[in-house]
A and B are shown apart, each in its own frame.
Chain A
Amino acid sequence: MHKNALTTRGWLLLLVLPVIALGLLYVLPVFNLVRISFAQYDPKLGVIPDYQISNYVALFVDVFYFEVLWRTIRVSLLVTLFCAVLGYPIAVYLIRSSGWRQTGIFIVLLMPLVTSVTVMSYGWLILLGRNGVINTIASGLGLIDVPRQFMYNETAIVVGLVHVLVVFMVISIAASLQSVDQTWVRAARSLGATPGVAFRAITLPLSLPGLRTGALLVFVLSMSAYATPTLLGGTRFKFLSYLVYQQAISLYNWPRGAAMAVMLLIATTALLALVSIYSQIRTIRANRRLREAQADGPAQVGAV
């Protein structure tokens, strides 16, 4: 073994600190959350350690709760989709530019992350509100008679979340685009592929890992988003994280809030698991096809 190489024990020692940190800061609280979600709540006595599934039963018969859960999932999927569609061309442009232009794009993309959500929401209000820029221009041009409300609905939530989260998509896609060697594209061109075909056959499939990572990040962040949907969705269009906040902080019903949070966690994890299982199956199938092709002899390969 190399003199400087770490022994197995060395590696384990290195792992001790992160394991302790994760255990204390993550596993323990989540465990506690799950525990509380089975407890009971009494307005006078607070949390009672009487563990039952009644909180979950109450959620399952609550139509409003499911409406909000479904909205959270649906809006998050939409946000992910829009981030992907908008983020891909931006990522392509980003890696093709350099110097001050690249820096400029980065600053524009990162701006929403360093700006207060409240300030940003007022910004959207100026643009989308009833007396906002868009309404004024549209009515000035005679496109609409009565000012429309663009704020305080799901569209506003999608716009706001895409604005904040698209940077995660762009950075993930840009990272994987960076690893796509331009000589591959040139090779495809020399073999008869038009720029569009070369993109579909070479660049796109090779940048899919970045797209997948970006989608994962954006979806998870969107599912748990609180401030942006609350401010832009108004009173009628709530996200699940708002309901959790309402239960735990406003109503002091920690067990109910915990049950909601656990459901959100399960819903998010389940969706991610589905996607991951789907891609696993695809990989296994592709490998089996390759093996079968090899077993059948090379002459058959063209048939797959």
Chain B
Amino acid sequence: MSQGCLVRPCFRASSTDPGETKSFLMEYLNVNGLEHFYATQRVLENVSFSINEGERLCLLGPSGCGKTTTLQVLAGFVKPDRGNVEIKGQRVDGMPPEKRNIGIMFQNYALFPHMSVFDNVAFGLRMRGVAKAEISARVMEALTLVRLPHAASKRPSQLSGGEQQRIAFARAVVIRPSLLLLDEPFSNLDARLRLEMRTELLDLLRTLSVATVMVTHDQEEAMAIADRIAVMYRGRIEQIDTPDQIYRNPASLFVGRFIGESNVLPATALPDGRFQVDGVGAITARDTRPSRNATAVQLMIRPEHIELVDAAPGGEEWNSVEGVVERQLFLGHRTEWIVSVGGLKLTVWQSNAHVRRQVGEKVTLRWRSADSIIVGAEHANA
């Protein structure tokens, strides 16, 4: 099949007006200061973000963090109490869902059970009054894109979970949406299929290069798919950045704990720039806080950044502490140790470790100063 209009070249073909340069500089999707209440409970608090054309943003957070409500606001199913949404500089927040030209892949796919796969995918085109011949061509193109052209006359119930998801994707993109929304796209698949579909979906999204907002509670999915991740917690965006930055430089204790594993130690800022951890000692750390007024802070170290060594190494860039092995767990691809240091327990991971320790053995732990990160203590109860 020829390279169809679903892929990028045709996507952009419409924007050839003189204002092109200007609108190119403008962000593609702007979400400004969303606030929303369910009864008296605030579910969105000043949620703002913007994404560029073709960019994939992932809203990541635990359940009840407001990510789904944000998606509903974008889709038009929830009217926010405050704030606005702009796509290509045009306000869409007052529009009903059917006017927004947004493609949605629902968590349960929401394929119409009484229609064939063809009719499901054709639905959006029929609503737009597209000519019959063109509907046929575009539906088949979309089905070919998701590698299911032979499923056209089947009913959704005759398809497997993965196939249903691909049809749901075809139905969402065949209308050439200005924005694509993916709601927990992998939650209904079993573990193996999930990995397979993740790669496949990423390839499709790259081919289409359509601006995408995805909602998930699974950090691995978010990291794999997204260009940028917005970590949400209690109705607010805690941090919005690339997966790499989110992992390396969490902006808050919540982000540090939610993404990956962390050892979190309460610490006090010392006048010399180091941080005092009770029972452990003075630690050199990287302080990325925007404001350094508070002296009570949290010090975060990822388990894979800590090494178990026999002797304390020298050098300014290393922190080292003494501890006692409390537990040793061999997990195949890595070994996990729980080491007690001055009443605190630190988790340590080492890949391909052939070294074995005895429980009760005295060990030295070391990690690079840059790998201990200071975050604010504002969400200490997270």
Residues of A within 8 A of B (CB): 181, 183-184, 186-194, 197, 201-202, 205-206, 290, 293-294, 298-299, 301-303
B116 in contact (CB, < 8 A): yes
Return the contact of B127 from the options A181, A193, A205 (Cβ within 8 A): A193
Task: Determine the chain A residues whose CB is within 8 A of the CB of B111 once the complex forms.
Answer: 187
A188 near B112 with CB under 8 A, answer yes
Task: Determine the chain B residues whose CB is within 8 A of the CB of A293 once the complex forms.
Answer: 152-153
- Known pairs A186-B97, A192-B127; list 14 more (Cβ under 8 Å): A181-B110, A186-B106, A187-B104, A187-B110, A187-B111, A187-B112, A189-B98, A190-B104, A191-B98, A191-B171, A191-B175, A193-B127, A302-B122, A302-B139
Report if A191-B140 is in contact (Cβ < 8 Å); known contacts: A186-B106, A298-B150, A301-B152.
no
20 contacts across the A-B interface (CB closer than 8 A)? A181-B110, A183-B106, A184-B113, A186-B75, A186-B104, A186-B106, A188-B112, A188-B123, A190-B97, A190-B98, A190-B103, A190-B172, A194-B98, A201-B112, A293-B153, A299-B136, A301-B136, A301-B153, A302-B122, A302-B136
Residues of B within 8 A of A (CB): 75-77, 96-98, 100-104, 106-108, 110-114, 116, 118, 122-124, 127-128, 132-133, 135-136, 139-140, 143, 149-150, 152-153, 171-172, 175
Measured CB to CB, the closest approach of chain A to B267, in angstroms, equals 47
A184 near B139 with CB under 8 A, answer no
A298 near B152 with CB under 8 A, answer yes
Task: Determine the chain B residues whose CB is within 8 A of the CB of A192 once the complex forms.
Answer: 98, 101, 124, 127-128, 175
Complex-state Cα separation, A84 to B152, whole angstroms: 35
A298 near B114 with CB under 8 A, answer no
Name A's interface SS: helix
B127 near A302 with CB under 8 A, answer no
B127 near A197 with CB under 8 A, answer yes
Contacts between the two chains (Cβ within 8 Å), count: 89
Report if A186-B77 is in contact (Cβ < 8 Å); known contacts: A192-B128, A192-B175, A298-B153.
yes
Task: Determine the chain B residues whose CB is within 8 A of the CB of A186 once the complex forms.
Answer: 75, 77, 97, 104, 106, 110
Task: Determine the chain A residues whose CB is within 8 A of the CB of B110 once the complex forms.
Answer: 181, 183-184, 186-187
Measured CB to CB, the closest approach of chain A to B179, in angstroms, equals 11
Task: Determine the chain A residues whose CB is within 8 A of the CB of B112 once the complex forms.
Answer: 184, 187-188, 201-202
Complex-state Cα separation, A192 to B96, whole angstroms: 9
Complex-state Cα separation, A302 to B133, whole angstroms: 7
Task: Determine the chain B residues whose CB is within 8 A of the CB of A298 once the complex forms.
Answer: 118, 140, 143, 149-150, 152-153
* Closest B residue, CB atoms, query A300: B136
Measured CB to CB, the closest approach of chain A to B127, in angstroms, equals 3
* Closest B residue, CB atoms, query A291: B153
Measured CB to CB, the closest approach of chain B to A177, in angstroms, equals 14
Complex-state Cα separation, A187 to B119, whole angstroms: 13
Task: Determine the chain A residues whose CB is within 8 A of the CB of B76 once the complex forms.
Answer: 189-190
* Closest A residue, CB atoms, query B144: A298
* Closest A residue, CB atoms, query B107: A183
* Closest A residue, CB atoms, query B100: A190
Task: Determine the chain B residues whose CB is within 8 A of the CB of A187 once the complex forms.
Answer: 104, 106, 110-112, 171
Complex-state Cα separation, A53 to B78, whole angstroms: 70
Shortest beta-carbon contacts, A-B, top 10: A302-B136, A192-B127, A191-B124, A187-B110, A183-B110, A189-B97, A298-B152, A294-B153, A190-B104, A301-B118
Complex-state Cα separation, A191 to B118, whole angstroms: 14
Task: Determine the chain A residues whose CB is within 8 A of the CB of B135 once the complex forms.
Answer: 302
Report if A191-B136 is in contact (Cβ < 8 Å); known contacts: A206-B113, A206-B114.
no
A183 near B108 with CB under 8 A, answer yes
Measured CB to CB, the closest approach of chain A to B356, in angstroms, equals 47
Task: Determine the chain A residues whose CB is within 8 A of the CB of B171 once the complex forms.
Answer: 187, 191
Complex-state Cα separation, A184 to B123, whole angstroms: 12
Return the contact of A303 from the options B97, B106, B123, B132 (Cβ within 8 A): B132
Complex-state Cα separation, A303 to B122, whole angstroms: 12
Measured CB to CB, the closest approach of chain A to B93, in angstroms, equals 15
Complex-state Cα separation, A188 to B116, whole angstroms: 15
Report if A301-B103 is in contact (Cβ < 8 Å); known contacts: A184-B110, A190-B97, A193-B127.
no
Report if A303-B136 is in contact (Cβ < 8 Å); known contacts: A190-B104, A192-B175, A298-B153.
yes
Complex-state Cα separation, A187 to B108, whole angstroms: 11
Complex-state Cα separation, A298 to B119, whole angstroms: 12
Task: Determine the chain A residues whose CB is within 8 A of the CB of B104 once the complex forms.
Answer: 186-187, 190
Task: Determine the chain B residues whose CB is within 8 A of the CB of A197 once the complex forms.
Answer: 127
Report if A302-B118 is in contact (Cβ < 8 Å); known contacts: A186-B97, A186-B110.
yes
Return the contact of B108 from the options A181, A194, A302 (Cβ within 8 A): A181
Complex-state Cα separation, A192 to B178, whole angstroms: 13
Task: Determine the chain A residues whose CB is within 8 A of the CB of B128 once the complex forms.
Answer: 192
